[in-house]
A = this chain, B = another copy of it.
Amino acid sequence: MSARRAQISPWAPFEDRRRARDEKKHAVLRMAARLFLDVGYHRATLNDVATRLNITKPALYNYFRSKEDILEECYRLGQQMVDEAIAAIDAEGGDGLTRLRKLIRAYAQLMTIDFGMCLVRLDDRELSEEAYRRVRAEKRQDDLAFRRYIEAGAADGSIVACDAKLAAFAIAGSLNWIGHWYRADGAYSADQIADHFANLLTTGLEAKSARARSPSGKNAQKTSTEPGNRSRKISP
């Protein structure tokens, strides 16, 4: 019995160790993101992050080179979620209005989670020059996705003719602001906000013909938590 035990390595299999390491790295990121949002990037120290995770500050350097490195990774994770949402919507297809509403819903929900909030509440000028340029380019791509769906909608008749650039800025601004005011213990759930904004921000853009195709609802501004709800009449 004791002979068999001696043959078992005190180290976990390599795969398990790698997974454990990835999980720990992610836990550092989550804690750092929360702290950056809570007290601001400048006031947050790696000591605070370590203390909250019951580890020492040197232990953090197993995972990241610096606070700036962590910040960059927070942006990367948030941006990855936006990219995935856009890729999924593009893959599903549909008219411009449908895709625009899906993006509004997905983006609104991202704004209620920490890595999404990091994209809009932290100052990207704290990043290295290289990371800053990459982050800015990615943000432009997000803006362009909104614009692309609006232009597609204007072309396929689901959205009225409009200045797509300004309309995209107006929508993105409303959504980014969620990252500033949303509270997990607040009056609205992420789903409610997503549904509400998908209605509110597209009611004025919807072409008459698209409205006629939708089953008419009692009131467009009432929140619906029904996923497929398409009732967006402007007034009762």
Q: Would A203 and B200 be within 8 Å (CB), given that A161-B221, A173-B174 are in contact?
A: no
Residue numbers in B under 8 Å from A123 (CB-CB):
40, 123
Interface residues of A in 5-53 (CB under 8 A from B): 39-40, 42-43
Count, chain A residues at interface, CB 8 A: 48
**A166: contacting residue among B43, B167, B200, CB under 8 A:** B200
Q: Would A125 and B177 be within 8 Å (CB), given that A188-B166, A204-B234, A221-B162 are in contact?
A: no
Q: Would A178 and B174 be within 8 Å (CB), given that A39-B125, A204-B234, A221-B163 are in contact?
A: no
Contact A193 B178 (CB under 8 A): no
Copies in the complex: 2
Contact B160 A235 (CB under 8 A): yes
Shortest beta-carbon distance, A67 to chain B, in Å? 13
Residue numbers in B under 8 Å from A174 (CB-CB):
169-171, 173-174, 177
Q: Is A219 an interface residue (CB 8 A)?
A: yes
Residue of B nearest to A179 (CB): B173
A154-172 CB contact bits vs B (8 Å, 1 = yes)?
Answer: 0000001111011101111
